[in-house]
Amino acid sequence: QVQLVESGGGLVQAGDSLALSCEVNTGSGRAFSTYTMAWFRREPGLDRSFVAGIRGNGRDRVYADSMKGRLTISRDNAKNTLYLRIDSLRPEDTAVYYCAAKNFWGTYSDVTDYLYWGQGTQVTVSS
C-alpha cells in the first residue's frame, strides 16, 4: 500500500511563507513518477477542498482559483517527494493540509479520485 507523510506545518504569522512536504513510499510496485499528486485542505467547519495538483512529469500544474498566485506546487521524483509553497499566508489559510495520490488519469480536483492520503499537517496562521 502507498504511504504518504506530510510535514512542514506549524504556527506562522500572516504575511509569511511556508513550505510543506509530502514523502511518498509507493511500495515495491509502481514508481512515484507515475502518480498524479495533489494537495487538499480542510478548514475548520468546512469540507475538504482542492488546493493544487501536479502530474507525474512535474510540469502540468493546476491551482485552486481562490489561492492562485500564492501557490507553487512541485515534486522531486528522485526523492519521492511532493512540495507546496504558500506565500502571503492569511488567517483564513488555517487548515489541515493533506497530500494525496492517484495512479490513473482524471481531473485534479475530485476528492474521490484519489486513492491514497496522508494524515495531514496543521497550518495555523495568526493575525
Are residues 39 and 20 in contact, defined by beta-carbon separation less than 8 angstroms? yes
Residue 28 has pLDDT above 80, yes or no: no
Residue 112 has pLDDT above 80, yes or no: yes
- Please state the rounded mean pLDDT for residues 50-70: 94
Joined grid coordinates for residue 8: 512542514
Are residues 61 and 52 in contact, defined by beta-carbon separation less than 8 angstroms? yes
What's the rounded Cα separation, in Å, for the pair 111 and 98?
Answer: 11
Q: What is the mean pLDDT of the chain?
A: 95
Q: Mind listing the pLDDT tens digit for each residue in 64-79?
A: 999 989 999 999 999 9
Q: What sections of the chain are H helices per DSSP? A: none
